[in-house]
Amino acid sequence: MNPDAVYPDYFRFRLISNSCSVSDHLWLDFPSFPTVDDFFGQLQKDPLTHRRDIMREIVHLQAGQCGNQIGAKFWEVISDEHGIDPTGTYHGDSDLQLDRINVYYNEASGGKYVPRAILVDLEPGTMDSVRSGPFGQIFRPDNFVFGQSGAGNNWAKGHYTEGAELVDSVMDVVRKEAESCDCLQGFQLTHSLGGGTGSGMGTLLISKIREEYPDRIMNTFSVVPSPKVSDTVVEPYNATLSVHQLMAATFIGNSTAIQELFKRISEQFTAMFRRKAFLHWYTGEGMDEMEFTEAESNMNDLVSEYQQYQDATAEEGEFEEEGEEEAT
């Protein structure tokens, strides 16, 4: 060490966390240049470095009639688990119920808990239904975002016209909720693929959120149309156009059994599109037929990819049977 050199009174180190979108940096000061033991000793003493204590918040969105009905039930169940009553007051019987409560709830004044939820629809009827439900008063009033016209079970209206007019208002609420988080984990969306708002505007919201928060998790709970319960004749169009948008943004499923579901929707889509049935409902909103062709192609590619895994599973089963026969 040079005796004539001038050394600082302390040494400062900056720790930067890549896990959070907010400023989550930490400064550590030492009276002299630290050894490894000094450095890690200081880390253990500083409570701010206990990353396990930082809440990883989730912003919940529910879009369309189906998405809001599922979302309303979700909040009933999750509130019951945390001991939260319909007014947002904690009435639990165990401290464990308050553990990680900030993942889904914001703590308001008076010790009340408010769901970090954004409720979206293109018509007011669904919002009125949620408000009049068992937990309707627990939501923040500013987080109800709705239009007046509805989507009419038309994916194009939800994605390109009516939904596009409302999406900026929704994103304003999304930003407000995201900015209030200490360490945003990601987003989750409940919606259906058969209608107009959940499918069209739901996929529009996903793309907008992915643009602004590319490093956050985007998770969807998507209800696929059932042949036994059909509300509208254009469900195959809406579902196929939605899956086309979802494929780059979410996990669709992890089982080869889902292949049959997509194959059925694809066959219905092809039969209708070949005759151009009801196509004018969509082109009238500014859509091009090429979007349908591309969506159909992507759906067929998805089915064929699942078919490869199904064939591989079947071959493994044959080998196992042959091995058992040889053993006997």
- Return per-residue pLDDT of the chain as tens, 328 residues: 455 554 455 566 655 555 564 444 555 666 766 676 765 676 666 544 444 446 689 999 999 999 999 999 999 999 999 999 999 999 999 989 999 999 999 999 888 999 999 999 999 999 999 999 999 999 999 999 999 999 999 999 999 999 999 999 999 999 999 999 999 999 999 999 999 999 999 999 999 999 999 999 999 999 998 877 887 899 999 999 999 888 655 555 555 677 888 899 999 999 999 999 999 999 999 999 999 999 999 999 888 887 777 777 656 655 555 555 555 5
Of 173, 171, 178, 249, the C-alpha closest to 217 is 249
Per the domain annotation, does 189 fall within a domain?
A: yes
Question: How many CA atoms lie less than 13 Å away from 320 in the CB half-sphere?
Answer: 6
Per the domain annotation, does 2 fall within a domain?
A: no
The structure tokens 């019951």 sit at: 80
* pTM across the whole model: 0.77
What is the domain-level CATH number for residue 187? 3.40.50.1440
Whole-number Å distance between alpha carbons of 299 and 286: 22
Per the domain annotation, does 210 fall within a domain?
A: yes
The structure tokens 């009516």 sit at: 162
Domain count, the chain: 1
List strand residue ranges (DSSP E) for the chain, in order. 11-15, 26-30, 57-63, 105-107, 113-115, 117-121, 144-146, 184-192, 217-223
3-state secondary structure of 61: strand
Whole-number Å distance between alpha carbons of 16 and 24: 7
Q: What is the pLDDT of residue 205?
A: 98
Positive or negative: CA dihedral 144, 146, 152, 157: negative
Per the domain annotation, does 92 fall within a domain?
A: yes
Q: What is the pLDDT of residue 21?
A: 43
CB 70 within 8 A of CB 193: no
Per the domain annotation, does 46 fall within a domain?
A: no
CB 181 within 8 A of CB 151: no
Whole-number Å distance between alpha carbons of 308 and 312: 6
Beta bridge partners of 187: 59, 218
Q: How far apart, in Å, are the Cα atoms of 164 and each of 117, 141, 151, 158, 202?
A: 20, 22, 11, 7, 11
The structure tokens 């007046």 sit at: 148
Q: Listing from the earlier edge strand, what are the strands of the sheet with 57-63? A: 144-146, 117-121, 57-63, 184-192, 217-223
Per the domain annotation, does 178 fall within a domain?
A: yes
Q: What is the pLDDT of residue 47?
A: 47
Per the domain annotation, does 261 fall within a domain?
A: no
Q: Which two tokens stand for residue 305?
A: 């990819």
Per the domain annotation, does 12 fall within a domain?
A: no
Whole-number Å distance between alpha carbons of 320 and 269: 38
What domain range includes position 81? Answer: 53-252
